[in-house]
Every structure is written in C-alpha cells, then in structure tokens.
Amino acid sequence: MGPLAPEIFKAYDIRGLYGTDIDADAAYLIGRGFTRVIADLEEKPPHGLRLGLGRDMRLSAPELAASYCEGMRVEGATVVDAGQVGTEMLYYLVGSRDLDGGLMCTASHNPKAYTGAKLVRRGAVALSGDEGLAEIRTLLDEGLPSPPGGGNVQEVSIYGDFQEAALAFIDPAAVKPLRVVVDGGNGMA
C-alpha cells in the first residue's frame, strides 16, 4: 500500500477506507507505532507493556485486529485480546486491569466500508493529535527499525466482568418494569 495517508490521522482516532487507506500492513505498522508511543508515555520499555485489544463487528475487523495485535506483539508487548467487544468494554478492560493502554479496531459510527483504531493510554485516556497520534504518524513517516520481537498474546473474555461492573451502579431490584426500545448499534450494543 505504501506510506500511510496523512488524512487517516484524525483528532482523536485513526480512520479510513478499508483496503484503500488502511489494510493489514497499515494496521501492523500502526500497532507497532502505538506500542512505541505508549512505551514513551509510560516511560517503560515496550517489553514491559500490557496493552488491551478489542474489535468491532465489521467484516474487516478480525483481519485488521490480528495485524494490530501482531504489530504490538513484535514490539515486545503483552497483548490482552478481548475479541469482539464494544468500545466501552475495551476502555473498561484497560482501566479495570490497569493496562498501559489499549487499541480498539473500529471506525465508530462510520459506514461499514471504513475501519480504523481508537487508541488510549493508561486509565483509558484517549490519545489525540496533541498527544500520541502525531507521534505515531511521525514514527511511521520516518520508518520503524526492525522490531525486537518477543511479546505474547492473552485472550480474555470480559463480558461477565463488564456486566457485573455496570450493574454495580444500580440497584436492580429498584428498577421498575419498562418498555425499552433498543438501537442495536450495528450489533455491538
């Protein structure tokens, strides 16, 4: 695909058309750059990082999440892979397990032809153009050295923990019967 298009770097995420702007090779490089930037922000070596990973329901997500994951892993990070989850669940994973950061493979509300990544640091604080995203772009523009290798992947299921944490905010017995209309959010809600 060649160098990454600068317009995929938005104010608070990375987004573009699948296959045109972002493909598996681009995702791999973004995963590597993300790991290096988090290592700098956390002031620790990449092999000491624990990074969360999640993906949405887009058909391109399994392929791209695997490439993001491989990029993070070859930089030496431990990748905690939650699989197909909502973005809020990835943020919960990062916060509840005190991870150094996390990457959600998603293009949010954009149509299915789009893909991308939402990136957070410790505490599920979003990276932005002011902190983090510009640094990733610079690293990728300058070219990354050969990766050190190492790292590993831990697959986890967080559905039960997330539901329990969400229900802790209310008294389920105090909830009166309701008629509820649900917007399935493209199947991820």
What positions carry a catalytic annotation?
Answer: 108
Give the whole-angstrom CA distance, residue 114 versus residue 78: 27
CB 91 within 8 A of CB 63: no
CA 33 to chain centre: 13
Q: Which amino acid is at 140?
A: L
CB count in 10 Å sphere of residue 103: 30
Structure tokens at 2: 């060649």
For residue 187, which phi and psi values (nearest 5 degrees)? 90, 0
DSSP 13: S
Using only C-alpha atoms, the chain has a radius of gyration, in whole angstroms, of 17
